[in-house]
Amino acid sequence: MEFRLGELFCGPGGLALGAINPIIKNGNDTYNVIHCWSNDYDIDSCKTFSRNIVGHETDSVICEDVRKLNISNLKPIDAFAYGFPCNDFSVVGKQKGFNGEFGPLYTYGIQIMDKLKPLFFVAENVGGLASSNSGNSFKKILYDLERCGNGYNLVANLYKAELYGIPQTRHRIIIVGISKTLNKVFKVPAPTTPKNYKTAYDALMNPPIEATATNNEVTKQSDIVIERLKHIKPGENVWTAKLPQKLKLNVKAAKLSQIYKRLDPNKPSYTITGSGGGGTHGYHWAEPRALTNRERARIQTFPDNFIFEGSKESVRKQIGMAVPPKLAEIIFTAILKTMAGVKYDSVSANINLENNSIFGA
């Protein structure tokens, strides 16, 4: 059975790549996901998605603001995915929740599921979603997701990417809903690397990135940044390193831990982000420089043949905001096995839907 996938806020295609890769068989039956349509407002992201997920420019990648999207024109789908914007739920920021510009955008996914009634959906957001607005935002979102369409059996879990072979400590809430008409319940796939994390060194050096790799331009660093990084050891940041006074930052506000933080080659990378100015771009453990976009893509588990469109800064944002494809693939593999009736190793969800509490977070 082929599940036609529709997606909002698709970005460059991290979720989609993870969705279309797995093929599950049960006897003579095959279960897989295919692209049907996707939407994003960022032109470069849409071009990247078209090139890598579809293979060519196509009308099925709709590049416009979701608030102007004509839902009545969307083709029928069996599966739906959206990593709705997290800006107003992130712990890095003011946590405006539904009072912000981005918080209410999840409702467009609700409208689509009400109209098209997909058999299952995947929704992704930052871990801060659970605590935003004292947990009330998360409670409202879960309430709406459970009751839209034909109704969904929900399973929400805070995934720690490093437990699933991703060389990055990226923690995200992923909600999976399966239509109540199917009488099936998703189970959280068991971690694959609970004690043997993939490291930043594994990501960038096994194998080394080819000299001809795309999106691998090195950023020219200023002399003061180079000098500062030379005083910062692997795993340290600008606050924990012993810097000469002339190289210290004069910051009195919140001191983010990732500012000029160098990767530790023996540990997973810290979270690769798409926002933020200088000092937040991720820094190599051995060379006094920011990571290249291809290095960031490696940490996010995009394959080297995945080519990003746009300027260097646009590509950095696309990579940082994406869902790691390998994590998405693990989720969609488990969904397809659920649909096919194939057993797989699983663990209990760590989010209690009754009170939104997170266990072992």
pLDDT tens column, 106-149 = 899 999 999 999 999 999 998 888 777 777 888 889 999 999 99
pLDDT at 287: 97
The pLDDT confidence band at residue 226, using thresholds 50, 70 and 90, is very high
**What SS3 string covers 111-147?**
HHHHHHCCCEEEEEEEHHHHCHHHHHHHHHHHHHHHH
Contact present, 298 and 209 (Cβ < 8 Å): yes
Average pLDDT over residues 154-170: 97
Whether residue 103 is predicted with pLDDT greater than 70 in this model: the reply is no
For the chain, give the percent of residues with pLDDT over 90.
79
Residue 353 pLDDT:
84
Lowest mean pLDDT among 12-16, 39-43, 81-85, 226-230: 81-85
Residue 222: burial class (beta carbons within 10 Å; 0-12, 13-18, 19+): exposed
Note the pLDDT of residue 123: 96
Averaged over 17-22, what is the pLDDT? 98
- Position 257 scores a pLDDT of 80
CA distances from 259 to 95, 98, 159, 272, 273 (A): 20, 28, 24, 12, 12
Q: What is the dihedral of CA 7, 137, 146, 337, to 10 degrees?
A: 50
Is residue 301 scored above 80 in pLDDT? yes
**Burial grade of 150 (CB within 10 A; 0-12, 13-18, 19 or more):** middle
Least-confidence region, from 155-164, 244-253, 287-296: 244-253
Which residues fall within 8 angstroms of residue 256, CB to CB, at 6 or more apart?
A: 92, 280
**What confidence category does residue 14 fall into, taking pLDDT thresholds of 50, 70 and 90?**
very high
148 is catalytic: no
Once rounded to an integer, what is the mean pLDDT over residues 76-80? 98
Query: Per 3-state DSSP, what percentage of the chain is helix, strand, and coil (rounded to 5)?
Result: 35, 20, 50
As a whole number of angstroms, the longest Cα–Cα distance in the chain is 69
Examine the pLDDT at 303 and tell me if it is beyond 60. Answer: yes
Q: Is the pLDDT of residue 230 over 90?
A: yes
Tell me which of 63 and 100 has the higher pLDDT.
63
Per-residue confidence band for 86, with pLDDT thresholds at 50, 70 and 90: low
- Mean pLDDT within 264-278: 90
Quote the DSSP letter at residue 156. Answer: E
Residue labelled with tokens 């994590």? 327
Is the whole-model pTM more than 0.75?
A: yes
Which comes out higher in pLDDT, residue 296 or 139?
A: 296
Residue 239 has pLDDT above 50, yes or no: yes
**How high is the pLDDT of residue 90?**
43
Please state, in angstroms and rounded to a whole number, the distance separating the CA atoms of residues 47 and 344.
Answer: 36
Q: Which domains does the chain have, with CATH numbers?
A: 2-193+324-347 (3.40.50.150)
Catalytic residue among 10, 36, 46, 86: 86
Instruction: Give mean pLDDT, residues 199-226.
Output: 96
Q: Is 96 a residue whose pLDDT tops 80?
A: no
Residue 126 pLDDT: 84
Indicate if the pLDDT at residue 352 is higher than 50: yes
Confidence of residue 319 (pLDDT cuts 50, 70, 90): very high
Higher pLDDT, 292 or 275: 292
Q: Which residue has the tokens 């910062």?
A: 232
Smallest CA-to-CA distance from 167 within 204, 141, 112, 130 is with: 204
Q: What mean pLDDT is predicted for residues 247-268?
A: 86
In the chain, the percentage of residues whose pLDDT exceeds 70 is 92
Position 135 scores a pLDDT of 77
What is the rounded average pLDDT for all residues in the chain?
A: 91
> What is the structure's pLDDT at 95?
45
Name which of 185-199, 211-225, 344-358 the model is least confident about: 344-358
Q: What is the pLDDT of residues 320-342, one digit of tens each?
A: 999 999 999 999 999 999 999 99
